[in-house]
Amino acid sequence: MLAGAEKGLSDFLLGKASNLYEFEQHIYPLDVIASTSFDNLPTNINRYFLRATAMDIVGNSQGTYIYTKLPSFIVLGVVKCKQSREMRSSRVAISGGTMSPREYVFPDGFDVYIMDAANKISELYEQIPADQLAKIEKYVLDNPDKVLESKLFEAIAHDYDRFGRKSLR
């Protein structure tokens, strides 16, 4: 299954095929979480959405996906999917198009996967060694203007606005 997806994507990227066929690509733009109906949202969710990068192969009973998390975007490559019709609004059209505000649908279970991924990033930050934290603190103190203008600081501020001191653990 994954070998077929790899071959299909490879052929497309190398110009050997003009279509992705069943191996659709979906793009989900991400922005600041202003409001949500989710309970227990990770206190670093804005940092995860706006700054984190990650790659994974994710599967459940509904499908198998290649998950690529970029700052402000998720690219979801379909290996196998039973929800293609519901996800249609996020599908990348090979012939071009535009991104615009719309209703995006993640495959079933992806909300839990994304929250778990954000929590794992938070756990990793808590494991940063003391000497490395000291270097980060020194950089912040030596470069306050750069830090205040950074996208990371902006994301931290959004998390702080939403969750208060809990976001800074």
Predicted pLDDT at 23: 85
What distances in angstroms separate CA 29 from CA 26, 115, 141, one per listed residue?
Answer: 10, 16, 33
The model's pLDDT over 113-122, given as tens digits with 9 standing for 90+, comes to: 999 999 999 9
Which residues of the chain, if any, have pLDDT below 50? Answer: none
Alpha-carbon distance of 71 to 48, in angstroms, equals: 8
By residue count, the chain amounts to 169
pTM to 2 decimals?
A: 0.84
161's tokens: 């606005």
Predicted pLDDT at 101: 66
Predicted pLDDT at 6: 83
Alpha-carbon distance of 26 to 126, in angstroms, equals: 32
Domain parsing of the chain, residue ranges:
2-168
Predicted pLDDT at 21: 78
